[in-house]
Every structure is written in structure tokens, then in C-alpha cells.
Amino acid sequence: MSSNQLNEEQYRAVHHRGGPLLVLAGAGSGKTRVITERIATLVERDVPEDAITAVTFTNKAAKEMRERLQMRLGKKADKLRICTFHALGLAIVREHAKLLNRRANVSVFAGAEQKSALKSVLSDMKLPADADQVDRLLSRLSSLKNGLIEAHDNQLSAIRERYDQLLERMNAVDFDDLIVLPITLLGENDEVRALWRSRARHFLVDEYQDSSRVQYEWVRLLVPEKGNLTVVGDDDQSIYGWRGAEVKNLFLLDRDYPTLTVIKLEENYRSTGSILEASNSLISKNSERLGKTLRSNLGMGKPVRVWESPNPEEEAQRVASDIKGRRMAADDGKSGSNWDHFCVLYRASYQAREIELAMRREKIPYHITGGLSFFDRAEIQDLLAYLRLIANFDDDLAFMRAIARPRRGIGDVALGELGLFAMAHGISLLSACLHEELEHKRAHSLHEFGDLIVALEFQFKHGEADEAFDAALDMTHLEAAIRAEAEDEEKAEMRMGNLMELRRWWIMHAEKGGDLASFLQDIFLMADKKDDDPSGQVRLMTVHGSKGLEFDNVYVVGVEDGMFPHQSALEENRMEEERRLMYVAMTRARYFLTLSYTRVRKRFGQKEKCAPSPFLKEPDQSVMRWVDRDTDSEEAKEEAEDFMAAMRKNLERMQASR
Ligand SMILES: Nc1ncnc2c1ncn2[C@@H]1O[C@H](COP(=O)(O)OP(=O)(O)OP(=O)(O)O)[C@@H](O)[C@H]1O
Ligand SMILES: [Mg+2]
């Protein structure tokens, strides 16, 4: 942890003695640092680690916080509970699985599994189950579970009931259940509530402005009126309105915790004056604000650059060249500037493609955070289906995917009969395969499939981790199918390479003593989906994914009317939320910020003319510089020199504070 002195207000928050506390402050004012320091201080004051629970917004943030605390507290930090709401929910569901009519190895359904569960419910109810319908219903079910809509609609309630039942029968929960089921448990079971209250005697929440109404229910259940609650947040950074996050929670706190102490932090330690001034003047255009002051203590720095490019390809190329130029200029061995000091942000994840191509052309190492999900790839999903089935024989959805990959000549009719048999006997599909009374013309293949899974389960339980994994690839004929079906050698190698990556993680997990079930849970919880190390690489991510992070150099691309603010937000009158999103993007930058738009962009396959985003015009123009192409190279040189100077100063500052 940095040894920089806390300012007076930060100190008050860190050393606040008991009782509910709200730290309400703008970006880069040290809110996350307050949480981390406060935890460290509690432990140093001999509060048992097991009585501290901290909730962060992403797994990545949790990991970072834990690492910082490890540096400060050593082994003691291992026992701290630092995770996301969902991870905490999973821990609660697992520990009290019995009370929820589940077993401890409960599976978590997301995406594809949720869809097929809902589909089978719909077809049982003789309701249309086309893809659109399923997507629409899933999102309504989610809103229903999150308390965003009321169940006036009888049909929707009926669907929910059957869907919940199906999940229960499959020993599964979905993402929303991870929040909703613990609420039921904590609300209805005194013992469970007492247990978790003791584990959350100090309960801390980062990025509070984006917690949802149901998540707030948790807070209420876990922390009594005068309990030790610490929440930090910034109303201007609330960007998940569509997911049920409510700034209102900030006001509710005041009502539900009357002794609430409110501390505001007004010093910004992250960004230069220009960046801060641009961000502040932008966000001041919002009317729904609590209002805050934020002062920079880094000096004005360089103006915020605004770029115009003819199209997204050239925009991407320009970003890549600029990064390269700056990196080279700063690469004097002293400044410590590295690729990972650069970050490219975009509104929608598909925009990564163009940037990615440019990075490749320029041979710049890059890392896409939360992008094209590794785990969504077909080969990974296929193997995971087998692994899930091996870990949980009752996972009917995993069964459905596994039995179809590779094709085993078992058709819908045979599967239908199997389903009927399973239902009649009240057992899962895999158990039905293993049942000796199962008799029909495909029974032999089904028995074989059942035996295969049983054999693999034995391997995973009693064999070596690597051998078990290889057996899963081989005995299922998955590897053979991948090689046979790939368009060419290169594609086959790429797919196998992905599976080998999974293999490596599994072996690492097993070496630490983990079993298959906990491995699958870890995988599910890697919200950013990629566990590899982004250091030494330029970071590419969506603005949503950048919350809480900071970089020396930030480029925001596609800042056009209709892109950012996004068209849908214009239509639905969510401009203020888009503006907050822009504010989040801009405040990630420490020293240099570039906002970029293009004149033409393809939309729905059609080339369309674009106008610069209103968010480029709203900030105080005295700290913005609209740079055109011609002056660019001249400017680049000058800025690269400034950049070097800034980096050196930064380094000196860091050394001085050590
Ligand atoms: N008192 C301080 N002196 C020097 N640097 C500080 C101080 N407090 C915080 N910082 C630094 O300022 C930066 C921003 O801090 P932090 O990430 O905690 O802010 P935040 O309020 O959580 O921002 P965000 O709203 O974006 O999540 C970090 O690099 C942090 O180390
Ligand atoms: Mg933060």
C-alpha cells in the first residue's frame, strides 16, 4: 500500500469508531483506498479477520484489494472475506444448501443453461419458445427476481415458479438467485442471520452507488441500525441503472441508519487539473446530483485532446501509432513508462475488434479485459459441459450439451424417452442412463454414455489431475471431433490451445488441493472471464469494465452522437446515465486523456455519417484541444516530451514518498 499520508478527511473515515459511515466523494478521491486502509487498521486493532466482510464490484477489484492487504498484513489477509455480492451469495448458498433443497455442489446456471431451462419450461407449458421470446422472458424474470417489476402478470409468475422448480430439481441456481436466495435465508432463518452477522460485524461496500435494491436488502439484513457499516460511493458514477442499481440507496441509508456519519472527500489524487476540470464541467450538466467539490493536486497538466478521424479503422490506427510513439519517446530506461500505462476505452465491446487489429499491426502487446469471452467459445463450453456433469450427475443441462457433442447418434426421440423415464423415476438424466431398467433401442448407447461419465468421475476423484483431464478429452472423443471438424489445421490448433489453457488452470487448481466442483465455481466467478495477467500490455476494455481503475494515458474511442451517448439511451431518455458513464471514462486518466470520434461508421451494415458527441462540447472548452491531423505529428513530438517529463516527476514523487 502506498505510504502517502492520508488527508484529514480520509483519516477520519479510516479511523471512524464504529457505527454506520458513508463516504461520498468524487472519482479518484481515495474512496477505495479508505476501504483498504480501514480494513488494515481494523485488523491491526485486533478485530478478528473473520468478522470483516468487504464487498467490491468485480472479482478483479476484490483480488486487487486482497493483494494490497496481503502486502500490509501478510498471512492474516487470507482470512478476510473480500468478494463481490455474487461470490458472497454463492458462499451462503453453498453453506446452507440443505435449507434451499440443494446439495453443496450446487451448479450456477448462466447464459446457455438458463436459456435451455426456460425453453423446456415454455415447451412444457405449450408456450412459444423461440429465441427472441426466451431472451425477453429471461430479462423479465430477472427483473421480477430483482424486484424491479411486480408480478401482476399471472403467466409470468407461473413461468417463474416452474423455472425455479426446475433449477431446484437440477441442483442449480442462477445469477439472480445468488442474491435473492440469501435474502430469503437471512430474512427467515435466525440462526443463519446470526452467523452471517457475526462474520460481517464490520461490513464494507465499495462502489455503493451501483448496488441494487435487493443488494441493499442484504445490507439491511446483515447490519443492524447501529452496526459497523462502511459504504463508499459516488452518485456521479452510477452506471448500472438498467441492472437495477439505484442511487436512491444513498438516500435510504440516511433513513434506515439514523446515526449515519457522512464524510466527503474533496481532494483528487488521480488526475491533472485539465482532466478533472473537463470531467467536472461535463458532469455538472446533470440535474440529478448530490453535488460535490473535487480539487486536483497534480497541477493543470496538458489539455484534453479531441481527435477527428475519417473512420474507425483510421481512428484505431491513430490510437495505436500514438501509443507507440509515446511509449518509444518515454522509453529512456528511467521513466518507467510501460505498455500497461495505456488504456483504450469504448462504449460497446464489439468496438474492440478494430483496436485489436491495429494493435496487432503495430505489434503492440494488448489485453482485452472481459472481451470476447474465453469461456463462451464452443470447445470450452463443450468440455465444461462434461466437467460439470462429472462434478454433478444431476446437472441435466450439462448432460444435454455433453451428449450432443460429439454426436453419438442419439436423437431427440431417444432423448425424449430418456426424459420420460427419468421423470417417472424422479431421477436425473444421467442417473436414468445408468438405470438397469432403462430399455429401448438406444439403451445401449445411453448406458455406455453413463458408464463413461462414471469412469471419468472416478479418474477425477482418484487419479492425477492431468491424466483425468486428458482422459476427459480423449474418452469423450471431443478432441477427435474438434480436429475432424475444424476448417483447417490452424483453427484446430487454436481450439486445442484454448483447451490446454483450461487444462493448465485445472492443474494449478488441483495442486492447491481444489476439487472439480470448486474449480467450476471459480471459473464461473471469473466475471472478467480471463484470469491471465494483463501487466505489460495495453489494456482494452469497455467503460463499464473500467470502474475504479486508473491509467496514465486514456483514449476513449467512438465518442459520437448515437454511439456515446448510445442511441438507445437517447430514445429512452437516459442521457444523464450516459453522461455519468462518460464521466467514469474520463476520470480513469491520470495525465493524458484523448477523446476520439470518427466521421463515418458502419451501423447495421450501412455506412453512416456521424456527428461528434455532445459530450465533447459540454466540458469547459478552455481545457480541451481539438487537434486535427496536420498539426498532429508536430504535437505528438511535443507531447511525448511533456509526457516524459511528467513520468519522471511521477517517479520522483513515488520515490520520495517511499
Ligand atoms: N492521501 C493520498 N495521497 C496520495 N495519493 C492518494 C491519497 N489517497 C489516494 N491516493 C491515490 O489516488 C488514486 C485514487 O484513489 P482511489 O482509487 O482510492 O480513488 P476512488 O475514490 O476509489 O476512485 P474511483 O471513484 O474512480 O473508484 C490512487 O492512486 C491512490 O493511491
Ligand atoms: Mg474506487
Question: pLDDT grade, residue 337 (50/70/90)?
Answer: low
On the question of pLDDT at 357 being above 50, the answer is yes
Q: What is the mean pLDDT of residues 4-24?
A: 93
pLDDT digits (tens, 9 = 90+) for 286-335: 987 887 878 888 889 999 999 999 999 999 999 999 999 888 766 554 44
On the question of pLDDT at 461 being above 90, the answer is yes
The CATH number covering residue 402 comes to 1.10.486.10
Among 253, 199, 198, 249, CA closest to 225: 253
For residue 451, being part of any structural domain is answered with yes
Question: Domain check: are 645 and 571 in the same one?
Answer: yes
Sequential DSSP letters for 38-50: HHHHHHHTT--GG
On the question of pLDDT at 65 being above 70, the answer is yes
Binding site for ATP, by residue number, is 25-32
pLDDT for 242 equals 66
Which of 8-22, 250-264, 621-635 is predicted least confidently?
621-635
pLDDT for 653 equals 65
| Catalytic residue status for 588 | yes
Question: Domain check: are 604 and 509 in the same one?
Answer: no
pLDDT for 349 equals 80
For residue 361, being part of any structural domain is answered with yes
pTM given for the model: 0.78
Structural domain span for residue 553: 295-371+534-652
For residue 355, being part of any structural domain is answered with yes
For residue 269, give the ligand 1 atom closest to its CA.
12
The answer to whether the beta carbons of residues 608 and 275 sit under 8 Å apart is no
pLDDT for 199 equals 97
Non-local (6+) Cβ contacts of 629 within 8 A are 308
Question: Domain check: are 394 and 501 in the same one?
Answer: yes
Whether residue 10 has its Cβ less than 6 Å from ligand 1? yes
Question: Domain check: are 316 and 425 in the same one?
Answer: no
Pick the residue whose CA is nearest to atom 6 on ligand 1: 269
Instruction: Report the separation in Å between the CA atom of 267 and the middle of ligand 1, taken as the mean of its atom positions.
Output: 9
Catalytic, out of 9, 177, 207, 382 = 207
- Residue that wins the pLDDT comparison between 59 and 72: 72
Question: pLDDT grade, residue 643 (50/70/90)?
Answer: low
pLDDT for 208 equals 92
On the question of pLDDT at 630 being above 60, the answer is no
Percent of the chain with pLDDT over 90: 51
pLDDT for 202 equals 97
| Catalytic residue status for 213 | no
pLDDT digits (tens, 9 = 90+) for 528-569: 444 457 778 999 999 998 999 999 999 999 999 999 999 888
Q: What is the mean pLDDT of residues 61-77?
A: 92
| Catalytic residue status for 637 | no
Domain termination residue (choose one: 488, 503, 528)? 528
On the question of pLDDT at 598 being above 50, the answer is yes
On the question of pLDDT at 647 being above 70, the answer is no
Question: Domain check: are 195 and 63 in the same one?
Answer: yes
pLDDT digits (tens, 9 = 90+) for 181-231: 999 999 999 999 999 999 999 999 999 998 888 899 999 999 999 999 999
Percent of the chain with pLDDT over 70: 89
Which of 22-26, 400-404, 615-619 is predicted least confidently?
400-404
Alpha-carbon separation of residue 609 from 318, 559, 562, 612, 617 (angstroms) = 20, 13, 11, 10, 18
Question: Domain check: are 461 and 483 in the same one?
Answer: yes
Catalytic, out of 31, 388, 442, 530 = 31
| For the ranges 49-58, 207-216, 353-362, 367-376, the one whose mean pLDDT is highest | 49-58
| Cα Rg of the chain, angstroms | 27
For residue 503, being part of any structural domain is answered with yes
For residue 101, being part of any structural domain is answered with no
Instruction: Report the separation in Å between the CA atom of 546 and the middle of ligand 1, taken as the mean of its atom positions.
Output: 15
Q: How far apart are CA 650 and CA 553, in angstroms?
A: 13
Indicate the SS3 state at residue 336. coil
Question: Domain check: are 512 and 640 in the same one?
Answer: no
Domain termination residue (choose one: 498, 528, 558)? 528
The answer to whether the beta carbons of residues 206 and 32 sit under 8 Å apart is yes
The CATH number covering residue 346 comes to 3.40.50.300
pLDDT for 48 equals 96
Catalytic, out of 60, 388, 588, 590 = 588
Question: Domain check: are 335 and 451 in the same one?
Answer: no
Instruction: Report the separation in Å between the CA atom of 32 and the middle of ligand 2, taken as the mean of its atom positions.
Output: 4
Domain termination residue (choose one: 136, 170, 204)? 170
pLDDT for 558 equals 97
Question: pLDDT grade, residue 4 (50/70/90)?
Answer: confident
Q: How far apart are CA 642 and CA 170, in angstroms?
A: 60
On the question of pLDDT at 2 being above 50, the answer is no
pLDDT for 289 equals 82
Question: pLDDT grade, residue 527 (50/70/90)?
Answer: very low
Q: What is the mean pLDDT of residues 389-394?
A: 94
Instruction: Report the separation in Å between the CA atom of 38 and the middle of ligand 2, taken as the mean of its atom positions.
Output: 14
Q: What is the mean pLDDT of the chain?
A: 86
pLDDT for 424 equals 79
Question: pLDDT grade, residue 637 (50/70/90)?
Answer: low
Question: pLDDT grade, residue 376 (50/70/90)?
Answer: low
Question: Domain check: are 148 and 207 in the same one?
Answer: no
Alpha-carbon separation of residue 551 from 34, 233, 344, 391, 632 (angstroms) = 20, 20, 10, 41, 22
For residue 456, being part of any structural domain is answered with yes
Q: What is the mean pLDDT of residues 339-345?
A: 94
- Residue that wins the pLDDT comparison between 628 and 427: 427
| For the ranges 239-253, 279-293, 453-467, the one whose mean pLDDT is highest | 453-467
| Catalytic residue status for 184 | no
Question: Domain check: are 206 and 70 in the same one?
Answer: yes
Instruction: Report the separation in Å between the CA atom of 549 and the middle of ligand 1, taken as the mean of its atom positions.
Output: 10
How many structural domains does the chain have? Answer: 4
Pick the residue whose CA is nearest to atom 25 on ligand 1: 27
- Residue that wins the pLDDT comparison between 594 and 487: 594
For residue 584, give the ligand 1 atom closest to its CA.
26
The answer to whether the beta carbons of residues 391 and 105 sit under 8 Å apart is yes
Which of 235-239, 281-285, 609-613 is predicted least confidently?
235-239
pLDDT for 290 equals 80
Question: Domain check: are 190 and 61 in the same one?
Answer: yes
For residue 358, being part of any structural domain is answered with yes
The answer to whether the beta carbons of residues 473 and 479 sit under 8 Å apart is yes
| For the ranges 168-177, 462-471, 495-504, 520-529, the one whose mean pLDDT is highest | 462-471
pLDDT for 333 equals 44
Whether residue 29 has its Cβ less than 6 Å from ligand 1? yes
Question: Domain check: are 386 and 469 in the same one?
Answer: yes
On the question of pLDDT at 248 being above 60, the answer is yes
On the question of pLDDT at 1 being above 50, the answer is no
Non-local (6+) Cβ contacts of 622 within 8 A are none
On the question of pLDDT at 583 being above 80, the answer is yes
pLDDT for 224 equals 95
Residues bordering ligand 2, an ion, CB closer than 5 Å? 31-32, 548
Pick the residue whose CA is nearest to atom 14 on ligand 1: 28
Question: pLDDT grade, residue 526 (50/70/90)?
Answer: low
Question: pLDDT grade, residue 392 (50/70/90)?
Answer: very high
The alpha carbon of 21 is separated from its chain's Cα centroid by a whole number of angstroms, namely 26
pLDDT for 599 equals 94
ipTM above 0.90, yes or no: yes
Whether residue 530 has its Cβ less than 6 Å from ligand 1? no
For residue 640, being part of any structural domain is answered with yes
pLDDT for 632 equals 55
The answer to whether the beta carbons of residues 283 and 236 sit under 8 Å apart is yes
Sequential DSSP letters for 399-449: HHHHHHTTT-S--HHHHHHHHHHHHHHT--HHHHHH-TT--STTHHHHHHH
